[in-house]
Amino acid sequence: MHQFTETESPVEKSNFGIPLALRYTAYRAYWFGLLASVSGFQMFRVGQGWLIYEITGNPWSLGLVGAANAIPGIFFNLFGGVFADRLDKRRLIMFTQLTTGSLVFLLATLTLLDVVEAWHVLVVAFLAGGVEAFDNPARQALYPHLIDRKAMISAVAMNSVIWQGTRIIAPGIAGILIDLINTQSALYISGIGFVVLAVVMGRLKIPAIPRGALGNPLQDIKEGLKFIKVHSVFSFLISMTFFNSFFGMAYVMLMPIFAVDILDVGAKGQGLLLGMSGAGALVNTLYIGARGSVPHRGLAIIAGAVLFGLAVAAFALTAEYVGSLSLAMGLMFIMGIFNSLYMISIQSSLQIMVPDRMRGRVMGFYGMTWSIMPLGGLQASALTSIWNAPIAIAAGGLSVAAFALGTSLFNSTVRNLSSNLSPIIDEAPQDTALEPAVQKDD
């Protein structure tokens, strides 16, 4: 695989405005399969939340479902990374997608037969979260082998387009299906999405990828953590993701307080606010995906994090002291732009620099930081009980900005990331299987 650094040459322009990553046949097939799977995932989240609230009538049950899904990810992502480095990634993704689809079909069938209970929903959420902990590192470790490194930013951005776009559209589709037909119809259709990606992976032709985790799983995890510790740039980038999930994104969990108690705009207003955040992220992600590059990567990460954190604080405080829905929506749009800027820059930098044999474990640890997002809501709720929601959310945003600024002052590698952006040489022994030959359309 060609090793590319941003200092070598500018990324080539794609024909007819098509993002560079989508010009690779294998990645394009994977991308459409991922679109179906993530759409199913978003619909599943809506369906299970609606279902358990319908059964219990208790808002607390919604938090329990979120925790049931998140806890396995926190504990099993590191093991998922080891398996991604150890096993055939394509087959592992097939297995995880079919397993998740089967769990969703099971929940839909229990609902259809009118025998579903709250504990069924919680168990399925827990098991699906556990499977996801193995699925996500495998996907993160696979798709860089479907492209050249020069298309990495475009590929990361196009992956993000799926998450941002489906976050806006898929829940609406699920809601319409639940309203017009029933809950199980939304669940059955969401389950089909997982099967689609499994079928795509079954048809995808990928030559053997080197396997890097060859020892005891615990030793492999220890090796991955040591690698991250030794190379401080990985520690910084993953820590940035942690601060983003735990502090920066806590506003999502407390949004009902802003919509109902502070801005007095109800559920419709809450949808508008979260939709504006998703729209800002989607617009910027599409731009980055088409452009295929982020100039001055290190500064983009630092500036994006600082401006995102300040925008979060501004949203929280102006909602309390100004009370304007229009201003709040504008700030949410800005938050989406800057959040996507630095998160795409972080993930693409990790993917470019990590050695192939360590990719699953590093990206598994990276993915674990996203699983703690519900816990970020808990810390914000705790601060809310001491002060109030705007102060709690503003403090989280300022924490993100302060961490980015503080670290950049003492870490020149981060500030000069663009000039240092190349795969880190890893001399450890590994399998000798050939890397895949990527295929790009003419």
pLDDT for 300 equals 84
Instruction: Tell me the C-alpha distance between 417 and 396, whole Å.
Output: 26
3-state secondary structure of 205: coil
All structural domains of the chain with their residue ranges: 18-420
CA angle, 302 as apex, 301 and 305 as ends, to 5°? 80
Per-residue pLDDT 10s for the chain (442 aa) are 333 333 333 344 444 467 888 888 899 999 999 999 999 998 898 788 788 878 887 766 766 787 788 888 888 888 888 888 888 889 999 999 999 999 999 999 999 998 989 899 999 999 999 999 999 889 988 888 888 878 888 888 888 888 878 877 887 788 788 878 888 898 999 999 999 999 999 988 876 676 665 667 778 878 888 888 888 788 888 888 888 888 988 887 778 788 878 998 876 777 788 778 888 888 888 888 777 667 777 788 888 999 999 999 999 999 999 989 999 999 999 999 999 888 888 888 888 888 877 888 888 888 887 777 767 777 787 888 888 889 999 999 999 999 988 877 776 767 666 666 666 655 554 444 444 444 455 4
Structural tokens at position 404:
């980015």
pLDDT for 442 equals 43
Instruction: Tell me the C-alpha distance between 436 and 27, whole Å.
Output: 12
pLDDT for 3 equals 37
pLDDT for 67 equals 78
Total-model pTM: 0.76
Instruction: Tell me the C-alpha distance between 210 and 88, whole Å.
Output: 9
pLDDT for 257 equals 80
Instruction: Tell me the C-alpha distance between 214 and 180, whole Å.
Output: 51
Instruction: Tell me the C-alpha distance between 284 and 301, whole Å.
Output: 14
Could you tell me if 38 and 163 are in contact, meaning their C-beta atoms sit under 8 angstroms apart? yes
pLDDT for 239 equals 85
Question: Which residues, other chains included, contact 275 with Cβ-Cβ below 8 Å and sequence gap of 6+?
Answer: 168
pLDDT for 40 equals 93
Nearest to 213 by CA among 429, 435, 436: 429
Instruction: Tell me the C-alpha distance between 6 and 435, whole Å.
Output: 22
pLDDT for 435 equals 40
Residue type, 416: N
* Neighbour tally for 349: CB within 10 Å: 28
What is the architecture of the domain spanning 18-420?
A: Up-down Bundle (1.20)
